[in-house]
Amino acid sequence: MKSIVYLFIMVVICFSCKEEKTTVHLKGQLKGMTPSEVMRYNGTASMIGDSRDIILHTDENGMFDTVIELKKPEYFSISRNTLYLTPGDDMEVYITESNKEATFKGVGAEANNYMKKRLFPKGGSFLEGGSNVRTDFPTTKLLVDSLAAVRKTELENLKNVSPDFKRMENARIVADVVNSYISYASYGKEYRLDWQAFQKATPEEQKAIQEQLEKMQNAHFATITPELNRMYKDLTDTLLLNVAVVRDVLSYANGDKFGWFEGIVLPERTGELYEAYEKVESLRWEVTPETVGQANDFIARSKNRDIATEVKYKAGQAGKLVEGQPAIDIVIEDVDGNTKQLSDFRGKAIYLDFWATWCGPCIQESPAFEALSKKYEGKDIVFIPVSTDARQSTWLSYLKNHHKDLPQYISHDQALKDEWCIMYIPRFILIDKDFKIVNAYAPRPSEEGITALLDAVLK
């Protein structure tokens, strides 16, 4: 009898000591992407920081095989693909820039094949960039609601996924509906301006048109308030902050003037997340001792370690970009494939233009950048345009059809993101002759303040 009891105890101990899985195995192909593709962390704290991003190194054919350390399930994104990874997943993947072309096989595949149909908040979610807009809002609403019902059925039919995954993805559907209702005021045909007529109108007429449009939008927002208020009540659990579109639609709580959040008290963690976002956003537009100090003050009183960690990471990055700090070196490549270090231009002031062929505002600034370079020709300053295009071939093709007087460069140096914090473009940076930062967020060449700044650095 004692031996049986002993055996039973040993079996229990063996099961209780079973090693917990803490890794994810991914292998396969990333088609049409860079050799060092970023798999971006897309959970709650991604709203404020990117310290959990992972670099996937591929060969010349985009093939890779990697093991990722992961303590708990998390959302990630590769290009337009959203992945849900769980410790223990072991998948073979094929991923392109189009989320609908992806394939997943192996442990964890069911959740990720479901994620292929994930909608995009910036496209108005179920409105899909306006393609699902009908003659009016009631008709469009019927379509949105029916599409949401289909998606819910697909979610309910999943077998090998966790309850938390279903909760979060159900919240994604609800938030996509909320986003669709709100976005109708931008995509609906009755809200579209006749730009040709608007541009021909007098300033007084333009103001009247804008006021009328705002009045119509506000009327729409008031109409959808009861349904939004009901749906928002289902989005308050902090677990749901892992879903990007939930974070998007909850942002309307700040300054709510239509009663969407009436009777709803958001958790303290949610409030802290949005406060952290404001601190980090200020660092993305202006790095000064004051903005860095405000971020550090927030870190000291934060009650959420994951949020504080991301703000600390961003404050640390920003601290390196304060005026007078040493400039961060990067590798740049010219159209002939020759590489240089940014520091090779030390001894002259450096005005950098980070742009891309797909960026409209960047293209608009280009003539002003070149004109400014001619104005300062012969001075101790170099004007360096640096493309951030993912594909070098796209950049070279663009330059063949668009003449540029300045030498052109491209860079995929990881320091652009990790140290210079280039999260948006166009972005302009000014460095002095001693290779120290003058302004990491310098004025655009089309702005009045740039001439005085350049003159000051050349004295």
- Catalytic (active-site) positions: 359, 362
Residues paired with 196 in a beta bridge: none
**What DSSP designation does 70 have?**
-
Site of tokens 């004295």: 459
What is the distance between the alpha carbons of residues 282 and 265, in angstroms, rounded to a whole number?
26
Cα separation, 282 vs 260, in Å, equals 27
For 356-362, the CB contacts below 8 A with 24+ separation are 356/387, 356/388, 356/389, 356/425, 357/387, 357/389, 357/394, 357/395, 357/398, 358/389, 359/425, 359/426, 361/425, 361/426, 362/425, 362/426
CB atoms within 10 A of CB 116: 15
Task: Identify whether the C-beta of residue 94 lies closer than 8 Å to the C-beta of residue 109.
Answer: no
**Angle between helix 163-187 and 225-232 (nearest 10):** 160
Which residues, listed in sequence order, are joined to residue 352 by a DSSP beta bridge? 384, 429
